[in-house]
Amino acid sequence: MGSLCRLRLTLRHELGGLMHTPQISYSYARRFGVLVELKPGAESTAAEQQPTWVVRHCKPLGVGVLAELGRKLPDGFALDWLETDEFERRLARAYEGGSSVAQTMVDDLGDGGLDALAHTLNAPIDLLEADDEAPIIRLINALLSEAVREGASDIHIESFETRMVVRFRVDGMLREVLQPPRAVAGVIVSRIKVMANLDIAEKRVPQDGRISLRLAGRPVDVRVSTLPSGQGERVVLRLLDKEAGRLTLDNLGLTRDLQTRLNALIHRPHGILLVTGPTGSGKTTTLYAALSEINTRERNILTVEDPIEYYLDGVGQTQVNPKVEMTFARGLRAILRQDPDVVMVGEIRDVETAEIAVQASLTGHLVLSTLHTNSAVGAITRLRDMGVEPFLLSSSLIGVLAQRLVRRLDARYGEAYLPDAAECALLGLDAEHPPTLYRVEESARQRGQGYLGRTGIYELIAIDATARHLIHEGAAESAIEAQVRQHSPSIHQYGVELVRAGVTTTEELLRVTASG
């Protein structure tokens, strides 16, 4: 039987002038400490019979290695010594795109090729060393490699009646990257299940697993979720870059004033500090950054999470597991018996967890947690609706941080313009003297370009004596909102300042704050 298909995945490959020859695999380069690059000016010196390649190395080269390099590079090469740190940086940069995987994504997928899925992969796996494996394995590894390189947060693998679609979520937006043939859907899903230690025979119920990977020495965790559907299983891979778990408050894009106020709250000895926002708004990252800020040898910091997204050195982290009745409430009760100074609860989902958190804060613990609300003041209403007594809430709550993530305008595709009266009204600007704003130029918009990366917009309310009194008296949300707004701008106002500074656009701000 002929090949089922030839898949081609167009992957961006920005090497900044570096170029490794395809004959030198990543595993060979790392093992012997060699990196082959095109010699600067090689094209202009070709006629003079000068070496075309330069071999940069961080280890002494034996006779066997030199002979092998001579065979692979018949045009000759020069040698250049690099210190280990510089070699590692260049190696990661040169091979990070997984170019040979990208350029030969899936060759002939005959009947025998599909059976290669039965092979297992050891964890952690270095994706760049999987270059010569079976086609399906190379496809999955290349997708993971490219997703990490592009900063994707999720990979969606979806099956439909006549096709299969792979999409990346980058900067909060989904975009299609590949359409494998429907015939290989089952083996792709099964391969991912093998990597995540899931039951490949069970296709009737959802399954959750985890994969630990390395990309050029960079650790990445992947959360795997499978879901049965009428046209085959759907798979979503959530990519968790472990380096992101090392963020501090300095990396969150906070204004100096807001960071100072937030820093004061997380250094309080007791009370509840909440972070609110929709799913995917960066709440967990903010909590981890706050914990990193106060993580010292003098503090015992414990968390209960679902799931543990990043592991923090020096912090005791507990995973929720409903299958054995390990809920947030039960986990919180348990860690309060571990003599903590600071407690982080991944999410307050029910009144039981809320009441335990309140009691913990009243007995001398600093409690950090999240809620799904559209505004900071909305968190107060949500806790009251859950059944937390106003007098307890007023005594325990010290602050609420609401946040969203907006895409950053890519300066290469921005164009200046003057907003009309309607837009000025939306942003609270003076229509008589409108400021110059920036938007994505139309040609870039049509190509799906115009934004690069994301940043946060925030709203922080610190509970002062007046707000405490209003909460205690059961005041309406509008009354509390009016009071706190005297001292703190809203999340919309925070975003307007970023629009005026050209960091983001009106369209993007309204997209993430329309429901807030």
CATH code at 258? 3.40.50.300
pLDDT at position 357: 96
Contact 346, 327 (CB under 8 A): no
User: Residues 28-54: pLDDT tens digits?
Assistant: 787 788 988 877 665 544 445 566 788
Beta strands in 346-489 (DSSP E): 366-371, 397-409, 414-417, 437-440, 451-462
Q: Could you give the strand order of the β-sheet that contains 77-81, starting from the edge strand earlier in sequence?
A: 34-38, 53-57, 77-81
Task: Tell me, rounded to whole angstroms, the distance of Cα 338 from its chain centroid.
Answer: 31
Band of pLDDT at residue 96, cut at 50, 70 and 90: low
Asked whether residue 378 falls in the same domain as residue 267, the answer is yes
Asked whether residue 260 falls in the same domain as residue 319, the answer is yes
Is the per-residue pLDDT at 479 higher than 90? Answer: yes
Asked whether residue 471 falls in the same domain as residue 329, the answer is yes
User: Residues 258-280: pLDDT tens digits?
Assistant: 999 999 999 999 999 999 999 88
Asked whether residue 271 falls in the same domain as residue 206, the answer is no
Asked whether residue 144 falls in the same domain as residue 189, the answer is yes
pLDDT at position 240: 84
Is the per-residue pLDDT at 477 higher than 60? Answer: yes
Closest by CA to 61, choosing from 42, 77, 49, is 77
pLDDT at position 134: 61
pLDDT at position 74: 80
Sequence-distant (6+) residues with CB within 8 A of 387 are 351, 354, 355
Mean pLDDT over the full length of the chain: 83
Is the per-residue pLDDT at 25 higher than 60? Answer: yes
Last-in-domain residue among 39, 60, 95: 95
Is the per-residue pLDDT at 120 higher than 80? Answer: no
Q: Within a domain: residue 471?
A: yes
Asked whether residue 286 falls in the same domain as residue 180, the answer is no
More confident residue, 361 or 91: 361
Band of pLDDT at residue 131, cut at 50, 70 and 90: very low
pLDDT at position 244: 61
Last-in-domain residue among 60, 80, 95: 95
Read off the pLDDT of each residue in 193-218 and give the average, rounded to a whole number. Answer: 86
Q: What is the pTM of this model?
A: 0.72
Q: Within a domain: residue 436?
A: no
pLDDT at position 150: 83
User: Residues 210-268: pLDDT tens digits?
Assistant: 888 877 667 788 999 999 998 889 999 999 877 666 778 988 889 999 999 999 999 99
pLDDT at position 245: 61
Is the per-residue pLDDT at 515 higher than 60? Answer: no
CA distance 91 to 356: 50
Band of pLDDT at residue 130, cut at 50, 70 and 90: very low
Q: Within a domain: residue 428?
A: no
Phi, psi of 69 (to 5 degrees): -65, -40
CATH number at residue 39: 3.30.300.160
Q: Within a domain: residue 434?
A: no
pLDDT at position 328: 92
Question: What count of Cα atoms within 13 Å lies in the side-chain half-sphere of residue 487?
Answer: 14
Q: Within a domain: residue 253?
A: yes
Domain span at residue 61?
26-95
More confident residue, 453 or 136: 453
Asked whether residue 319 falls in the same domain as residue 366, the answer is yes
Q: Within a domain: residue 446?
A: no
Asked whether residue 63 falls in the same domain as residue 170, the answer is no
**Domain count of the fold of the chain:** 3
Asked whether residue 107 falls in the same domain as residue 88, the answer is no
Asked whether residue 215 falls in the same domain as residue 166, the answer is yes
More confident residue, 421 or 374: 421
SS3 41: coil
Last-in-domain residue among 95, 111, 138: 95
Asked whether residue 87 falls in the same domain as residue 106, the answer is no
Q: Per DSSP, what are the bridge partners of residue 174? A: 169
Asked whether residue 211 falls in the same domain as residue 303, the answer is no
Q: Within a domain: residue 399?
A: yes
CA distance 140 to 180: 11
pLDDT at position 110: 38
Q: Within a domain: residue 103?
A: yes
